[in-house]
Amino acid sequence: MFKLLKVLNKKDLFRILLIITLVVCQVSLELRMPDYMSEVTVLVQTAGSKMVDILTNGAFMLACALGSLMFMVFTKYHTSSLAATFSMKIRKKLFTKVCNLSINEVKEFSTSSLITRTTNDIGQVQMLVGIGLMHMVKAPITACWAISKILGKSVEWSIATAVAVAVLLTAIIILIATVVPRFKIVQKLIDKVNSVTRENLNGIRVVRAFNAEEYQQDKFEDVNNKLTNLQISNQKAFAFLDPVMTMVMHGVTLSIYFIGAILIMNSPIAGKIGIFGDMVVFGTYATQVIMSFLMLTVTFVMLPRAAVSAKRINEVLETDITVKDGEIAENITKEKGTVEFRNVCFKYPDADEYLLKDISFKAEKGETVAFIGSTGSGKSTLINLIPRFYDATEGVVLVDGVDVKKYSQEFLNNKIGYVSQKAVIFDGSVNFNVSYGDNGKGEKKPKKIKEAIEIAQAKDFVEKMDEGYETELAQGGTNISGGQKQRISIARAIARDPEIYIFDDSFSALDYKTDSNLRKALKEYTKDATSIIVAQRIGTIMNADKIIVLDQGLMVGQGTHKELLQNCEVYKEIALSQLSEEELANG
């Protein structure tokens, strides 16, 4: 928890000092009221007392009450503001950290868990700061101040108060020891609820197509019931505190008045009024002491869960980023648009075997290099090493003759136009999606967007939309087809005008005519850029300058379409499974 406090700046620390000052002022006024109450009590019981003295003490008591109320309002305002600012900074820091994590690190936490940590966990910490901070400051000050006021008044009353505090603390310690381990399970179950919900929403079409609604509901019910039952169990444990607190509160008051009655009964007549006044004051102060511990109890109730949440947040913030930024942020060689792999091997951190083994090739400026192979042969993983979604385990990946690890990621990304295997559409207009990120910079933006959409063969369907280029696309592109999503994604890469284009099986949802037209337009437009293509269709890559065939992570062939038909059995098998010998010969 304390590690998260590093986000606070001097202004926030000043606000904490202000809150402490306001609390001290509030407590001092609250603890002055019993003294005035005692004066009023004694004056009322004393013969010959003047009404003006009673009213004066009553007025002071009222002024203390109003002043205490005013300071409490100011305290709550600044505490709530501090909590909101604190959570905002933590949320921003956590979001930034997540954005910098590599794909491996995101998989390690899982998407649903990262969402929970960014929302629910930060909410728990914010609640502790907003409510707990005031109580953690006020309770010790009130308790210590009240104890100093009653210390020496009466040994019997002091013992009764000490016993009440001991009973309350014992109950709190038992509760915390019982409940804390359960909160770790609660947060993991919330992760699971998010995971099942996301799975159901993402796969809603498949769920309905296979009539699996009942199966998904049962799956959700299982994890939801586990979470509910655990939460009920925790709340039952917390409910145990209510009767204990009530019993202690009324018990200590009853004890003080019972002891006071005995003391008054056994004292001489002259001292009865003084003991009665002391009893009223002691009873009020004892109640303040118990209330202080009750306020701490509220904090202790929130503290275990907030501590678990803080630990989960710190797990993300303290994660070492494996893909570290390089220092090169400018062109330092004459090469442009070249991509080279030198003896590259790759395996996932938790894997025993290499997924890619000894990959070596070079793509020159203006060339189109294509990758083909069976499912799981490592095609997508290989091209993901270029923009550093992963880093090579062994060997070197070079762009423009420089190891990609030495580039700053921003500079490297500006060299690349990347189209992912799964077309990504953001919530926003067509213009917004195509001009996304750095694409939106510059005066030529509107003209560039239209040109990119036209080359991507998306002009016809975009202009037929109700609002044309300003038509809103839903998150994930749920209001357009798969082929339309791919073309919007391709237009986004074209609008970037990069040195290197990477197409990760980005033509699979296109019909053959659109695919052919798109490739012709791309070839003309990108003639001065390097194109790296992963594809399953032979027709998409047969005109590439260089085709690399992968099989189980190994390069088993490299050359043109005609060369590979003659000297690579794996390529020939793939080709014959899609096209006839006559079509291949004509190609």
Query: What are the b/e assignments for 356-395, b being 16+ CB within 10 Å?
Result: bbebebebeeebbbbbbbeeebbbebbbbbbbbbbebbeb
Give the model confidence (pLDDT) of 378-402 as tens digits: 898 999 999 998 899 999 999 999 9
- What's the pLDDT at 442? 55
Average pLDDT over residues 100-123: 84
Q: What residue type is assigned to position 395 of the chain?
A: G
CA distance 535 to 531: 12
Average pLDDT over residues 460-472: 88
Give the model confidence (pLDDT) of 394-443 as tens digits: 999 999 999 999 999 889 988 999 998 888 888 888 888 988 877 655 55
CA distance 160 to 262: 14
- What's the pLDDT at 298? 73
- Structure-block tokens of residue 201: 């929403």
Decide: helix, strand or coil at residue 583. helix
Indicate if the pLDDT at residue 444 is higher than 60: no
Q: Say if residues 459 and 453 touch (Cβ distance below 8 Å).
A: yes
**Integer CA distances (angstroms), 578 to 168, 514, 539, 557, 572, in order:** 78, 18, 9, 18, 10
- Structure-block tokens of residue 517: 């037209």
CA distance 376 to 351: 15
Q: What residue type is assigned to position 122 of the chain?
A: I
- What's the pLDDT at 151? 66
What percent of the chain clears pLDDT 90, i.e. is strictly above it?
A: 19
CA distance 26 to 29: 5
Going by the DSSP 8-state scheme, the letter that residue 468 receives in this structure is G
Return the CATH fold of 2-317.
Answer: ABC transporter transmembrane region fold (1.20.1560)
- What's the pLDDT at 152? 61
Single out the residue of 145, 504, 558 nearest to residue 359, CA to CA.
Answer: 558
Query: pLDDT band for position 271 (50/70/90)?
Result: low
Average pLDDT over residues 130-138: 80
Average pLDDT, whole number, for the chain? 84
CA distance 324 to 289: 54
CA distance 524 to 542: 16
Average pLDDT over residues 86-107: 87
Average pLDDT over residues 542-566: 90
- What's the pLDDT at 158? 77
- What's the pLDDT at 343? 93
Indicate if the pLDDT at residue 28 is higher than 60: yes
- This prediction has a pTM of 0.74
- What's the pLDDT at 144? 76
- Which range, 142-146, 302-306, 521-525, is most confident? 521-525
- Which range, 183-192, 399-408, 538-547, is most confident? 399-408
CA distance 470 to 431: 6
- What's the pLDDT at 585? 65
CA distance 89 to 586: 62
Stronger pLDDT, 158 or 128, i.e. the higher one: 128
- What's the pLDDT at 489? 92
CA distance 212 to 479: 23
Average pLDDT over residues 31-48: 74
Q: Say if residues 260 and 276 touch (Cβ distance below 8 Å).
A: yes
Q: Say if residues 278 and 90 touch (Cβ distance below 8 Å).
A: no
Indicate if the pLDDT at residue 583 is higher than 60: yes
**Integer CA distances (angstroms), 489 to 160, 166, 478, 529, in order:** 75, 67, 14, 18
Phi/psi of residue 291, nearest 5 degrees: -60, -35
Single out the residue of 263, 252, 249 nearest to residue 159, CA to CA.
Answer: 252
Going by the DSSP 8-state scheme, the letter that residue 470 receives in this structure is G
- What's the pLDDT at 439? 61
Give the model confidence (pLDDT) of 287-337 as tens digits: 777 777 777 777 777 777 788 888 889 988 888 888 888 888 888 888 898
SS (H, E, C) 338-352: CEEEEEEEECCCCCC
Indicate if the pLDDT at residue 82 is higher than 80: yes
Largest Cα–Cα distance of the chain, in whole Å? 125
